A and B are shown apart, each in its own frame.
Chain A
Amino acid sequence: MDNLTIFLILLALGFVFGKLAEGRHYRSIQAREEELVRLPTTSCKKPIGSSASIERAQLVYGHVVISVDYFKQMLAGLRNFFGGTIQAYETLLDRARREAVLRMKESCPTADEILNLRIETSSISKGGSGDRIGSVEVLAYGTAIYYQQASSRLPSP
Chain B
Amino acid sequence: MFVCNIEEIPGKTITTCYGIVSGSTVRAKHVGRDIFASIKNIFGGELKAYTELLGESRDEALDRMKAQAQQLGANAIVNVRFSTSSVAAGAAEIYVYGTAVTVE
Q: Is A bound to B? A: yes
Q: Which residues of A contact B (CB under 8 A)?
A: 10, 13-14, 17-18, 21-22, 25, 45, 53-59, 61, 63-70, 72-73, 99, 115-116, 118, 120, 122-128, 134-135, 137, 139, 141-143, 145
Partner of A63, one of B5, B9, B38, B54: B54
Contact with A along B57-68 (1 / 0, CB 8 A): 010000000000
For B104, the chain A residues whose CB sits under 8 A away are none
Partner of B86, one of A14, A53, A124: A124
Residues of B contacting A: mostly:
mixed
Q: Which residues of B contact A (CB under 8 A)?
A: 2-7, 9-11, 37-38, 40-47, 50-51, 54-55, 58, 80-86, 88-90, 92
Partner of A65, one of B47, B81, B85, B88: B47
For A54, the chain B residues whose CB sits under 8 A away are 10-11
Partner of B54, one of A13, A45, A53, A65: A65
Question: Considering only CB atoms, which chain B residue lies closest to A142 in the complex?
Answer: B5
B41 near A120 with CB under 8 A, answer no
B89 near A116 with CB under 8 A, answer no
A65-B51 CB under 8 A given contacts A14-B43, A18-B43, A57-B9:
yes
For A127, the chain B residues whose CB sits under 8 A away are 88-90
Question: Considering only CB atoms, which chain A residue lies closest to B92 in the complex?
Answer: A124
A120 near B89 with CB under 8 A, answer no
